[in-house]
Amino acid sequence: MLDTGSDGFMLIAAALVFIMTPGLALFYGGLVNKKNSVAMMMQNFFSAGWTTILWVLFGFSLAFGADVAGIIGGGHYFFLLNMTPKTLFPGDGGVISMYTFMIYQLMFAIITPVLMTGAFADRMKFKGFIVFITLWLFLVYFPFAHWLWGGGFLQQWGVEDFAGGIVVHTSAGFGALAAVFYLGRRLHPKPGNHSIPLIVLGTALLWFGWFGFNAGSALRVDADTNVAFINTMIAAAFAAVTWMFWDYAVHKRWSSIGFLTGSIAGLATITPAAGFVNPQAAMLIGILAALISHWAVDFVHKKGWDDALDVWGVHGIGGFTGIILLGILGSAAINGANGLIYGGVTFFGKQVVAACLTAVYAFLVTYGIAWLTDKITPLRVSEEEEEKGLDESEFLETAYS
């Protein structure tokens, strides 16, 4: 039976998740050099239109249609057929509309591929980007959504991912690293962080929207919703402060960018565990998110990998770490399965295997997608276009005169 309170909450949660995409556009747009800010923002905003079209035509059904061999959903919901406003989503007791569930999950599909854009900033042609994210949605995101949330083999096996540690952050983070390796380093890297106010505003919208991202993943209003909301705030705060103090200990100066980056790392890491752990675990997850993601970012810089905006270290390693920590700290008293500290050895093993499988699959398939895209249309801008900036060379528009 439809619960109008839960259904209404889920529509609000969908709107909160949507605001994260323009938030990401502002966050990334402020982090890149000003000559590429329009191109960066448009790569993010474009997904709101293009992914919506792909989702309502095919994606929702491939992710959440009737399971086919544990791998993909069937075509029952292509073009949003075979559902009406009165059709109830069958999961969790059928308390929200299928339309509501569809639109909520769409917002996840919109933001996931564009998380990768920060990694290959300043280098990818917009036409190539369109082909790239189209293939990525069909070959990476839609399958992962089905495997974990749509009745696929990982869900059947007992792997847990409350709000997207695997489906969103690990897949996008390791996919981003593959794209970085394929495209290579920028030829003329310019200093970024051109607008800290934009970065602050973008972070604020991401943090605000994340409450819908995590709490909304309960798919109803109950105690799980409450726990996920609280844990989201706790982990983000602990991670942001830890990252900032680490920066001060190393560099003897305070860093606004460090605080903001730390908050995103905490949010990414708590995502898979938000509704499955207690608040005390969320505190620990926040601290570990900052320490581990900071190490990963430093590692990338030492290696000379040109992950321009630290997508792998923050999102890829954050999501991966969150899945592992869920396997350790998960509590059946909250929801889901007991983690390692409560005797859940088998569950911990499943989480580790799923995280590793995700990382390898996302990396290899994304690298293949980049190669295939490059055969269809050039993926990387020319040296002249890179030097001029993507705003002028691709859009004939500039953010600043």
For residue range 20-59, list pLDDT tens digits in order: 999 999 999 999 999 999 999 999 999 999 999 999 999 9
Query: Quick one: pLDDT at residue 93?
Result: 77
Among the CATH numbers 1.10.287.1060, 3.40.50.720, 1.10.3430.10, 3.30.70.260, which is that of 4-395?
Answer: 1.10.3430.10
227 pLDDT above the threshold of 80:
yes
- State what percent of residues in the chain have pLDDT above 70: 100
Query: Quick one: pLDDT at residue 304?
Result: 95
Q: Which sequence spans correspond to the domains of the chain?
A: 4-395
291 pLDDT above the threshold of 80:
yes
Query: Quick one: pLDDT at residue 92?
Result: 75
If you average pLDDT over residues 283-291, what whole number do you get?
A: 98
Summarize pLDDT for 116-160 with one digit per residue, the tens: 999 999 999 999 999 999 999 999 999 999 999 999 999 999 999
Helix axes 4-31, 98-114, angle to 10 degrees: 10
Least Cα distance to 236 among 214, 202, 213, 268 occurs for 268
Check residues 335 and 77 and name the one with the higher pLDDT. Answer: 77
Query: Quick one: pLDDT at residue 330?
Result: 98
Residue 234 tokens read as: 């706790």
9 pLDDT above the threshold of 90:
yes
Query: Quick one: pLDDT at residue 286?
Result: 98
Least Cα distance to 113 among 160, 145, 161 occurs for 145
Query: Quick one: pLDDT at residue 383?
Result: 94
If you average pLDDT over residues 237-261, what whole number do you get?
A: 97
Query: Quick one: pLDDT at residue 178?
Result: 98
Mean pLDDT of the chain: 97
For the CA atoms of 75, 20, 27, 181, the dihedral, rounded to the nearest 10 degrees, stands at -20
Rounded CA-CA distance 114/206 in Å is 13
Query: 394 vs 189, 194, 276, 389, CA distance in Å?
Result: 18, 20, 45, 8
Residue 148 burial (10 A CB sphere; 0-12, 13-18, 19+): buried
Least Cα distance to 140 among 360, 380, 378, 371 occurs for 360
176 pLDDT above the threshold of 90:
yes
If you average pLDDT over residues 193-201, what whole number do you get?
A: 96
Contacts of 358 (CB under 8 A, 6+ apart): 144, 166, 170, 171, 174, 320, 323
Longest dimension (CA), the chain: 61
Confidence of residue 191 (pLDDT cuts 50, 70, 90): confident
Q: Which amino acid is at 29?
A: G
Rounded CA-CA distance 328/349 in Å is 10
- The angle at the Cα of 102, spanning 163 to 88, to the nearest 5 degrees, equals 105
- State what percent of residues in the chain have pLDDT above 90: 96
Contacts of 46 (CB under 8 A, 6+ apart): 129, 130
